[in-house]
């Protein structure tokens, strides 16, 4: 057991992880970072007075893009023996197995009123927690359905072991 940021004891061994599909995000962030780093050097070579300002702006933009890339790649769901950790883009929520009531599907609706995709909605004793990834369709046996079934099975097993 190792303490987390709040000082609670948690297991350092993850049971399993569910991540989103990262189709083009790493490549896009790498290209944008290269543009942010290399683009400002052209005016600084052509215009020595004040060119450092463009380079500084490029470095700031590159740092923001790298930070965004790290946050995007860490999103997902991690199941631990003491609960589940829902990692969204800017906020992490830890849900103990005993506090997890149910897991349902949350539909993301477009402006036209159509369902774009679904994501997992964790119903807890302290309120709902939405996982941004993984997302997809709710077909039986599909990615989201199997993730939901697996998480509920682990919850039932862990609650039975505790009580």
pLDDT one digit per residue (tens) for the chain, 163 residues: 444 445 544 455 667 666 665 666 667 777 777 777 676 656 555 565 666 676 777 778 777 877 777 777 778 888 888 899 988 888 889 999 999 999 998 888 888 888 888 888 999 999 999 888 777 778 888 888 888 898 999 999 888 887 6
The pLDDT of residue 22 is: 60
CA-nearest of 65, 67, 87, 92 to 18 is 87
The pLDDT value recorded for residue 39 is 65
pLDDT of residue 73: 74
Of the candidates 81, 76, 99, the one whose C-alpha atom is nearest the C-alpha of residue 15 is 81
CA distance 53 to 146: 51
d(CA 109, CA 113) in angstroms, rounded, equals 6
Res 90: pLDDT: 82
Tell whether the torsion through CA atoms of 156, 128, 71 and 25 is positive or negative.
positive
Listed in sequence order, the residues at least 6 apart from 76 whose beta carbon sits closer than 8 Å to its beta carbon are 17, 18, 19, 20, 87, 131, 133, 134
Burial of 42 (0-12, 13-18, 19+ CB in 10 A): exposed
Q: What share of the chain is helix, strand, coil (3-state, %, to 5)?
A: 40, 35, 25
Closest to 129 in 3D by CA, of 161, 86, 90, 75: 86
Angle at the Cα of 158 (from 154 to 161), degrees rounded to 5?
140
pLDDT score of 122:
92
Q: For residue 21, how far is the Cα from the chain centroid?
A: 11
- Residues 6+ positions from 71 with CB-CB distance below 8 Å: 89, 90
């Amino acid at each position: 057991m190792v303490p987390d940021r709040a000082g609670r004891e948690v297991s350092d061994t993850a049971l399993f992880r569910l991540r989103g599909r990262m189709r083009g995000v790493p490549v896009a962030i790498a290209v944008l970072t290269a543009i942010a780093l290399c683009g400002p050097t052209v005016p600084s070579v052509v215009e020595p007075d004040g060119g450092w300002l463009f380079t500084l702006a490029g470095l700031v933009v590159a740092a923001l893009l790298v930070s965004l890339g790290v946050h995007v790649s860490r999103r997902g769901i991690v199941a631990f023996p003491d609960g589940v950790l829902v990692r969204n883009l800017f906020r992490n929520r830890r849900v103990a197995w005993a506090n997890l009531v149910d897991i349902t599907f949350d539909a993301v609706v477009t402006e036209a009123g159509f369902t774009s995709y679904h994501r997992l909605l964790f119903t807890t004793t302290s309120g709902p927690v939405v996982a941004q990834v993984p997302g997809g369709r709710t077909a039986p046996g599909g990615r989201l359905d199997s993730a939901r079934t697996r998480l509920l099975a682990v919850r039932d097993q862990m609650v039975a072991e505790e009580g």
